[in-house]
Copies of this chain bind each other. A is one copy, B any other.
């Protein structure tokens, strides 16, 4: 089993199954920290709201692979996995899951937060919101850039 894994997929996934996969043959890790990003209900009161996730196939995988390798260099990691969904998603659907297993919970927390912060500013995904009133591409947030910068200062 690969220590560092990633999957770009349209289908939903089961977190318990993913967790079982992460710890398979890996009883050294006492700690597993995960981040899950889900579709927020951005149109409260409106009947329909949907998110469309576009990405740059090939570049996405190569960016995420580099981020996993960087996390692996900076922290003590036994296993790490990123799942990111693409295509149409509905309110409360899972979008992204980042999981890090480690013998040290501090490392698991740091690596997991680094991965999601870096993913948000570096991985080529784009979100479009659709509702009854129309559709719009989301703008990148400065707060995400700030979070990502923090990890470089810590080098």
Residue-by-residue, is A9-34 near B (CB-CB < 8 Å gives 1, otherwise 0)?
A: 00000111101000100011111111
Number of A residues near B (Cβ < 8 Å) is 32
Once A38-B23, A106-B147 are accepted as A-B contacts, the answer to whether A33 and B33 lie under 8 Å apart by CB is: yes
This chain's copy number in the assembly: 2
Distance A46 CA – B18 CA, assembled complex (angstroms): 28
Q: Which residues of B contact A17 (CB under 8 A)?
A: 16
Residue-by-residue, is A62-81 near B (CB-CB < 8 Å gives 1, otherwise 0)?
A: 00000000000000000000
Tell me whether A41 and B19 are in contact (CB under 8 A): no
Residue A130 at the B interface, CB < 8 A? no
Q: Which residues of B contact A39 (CB under 8 A)?
A: 27, 30
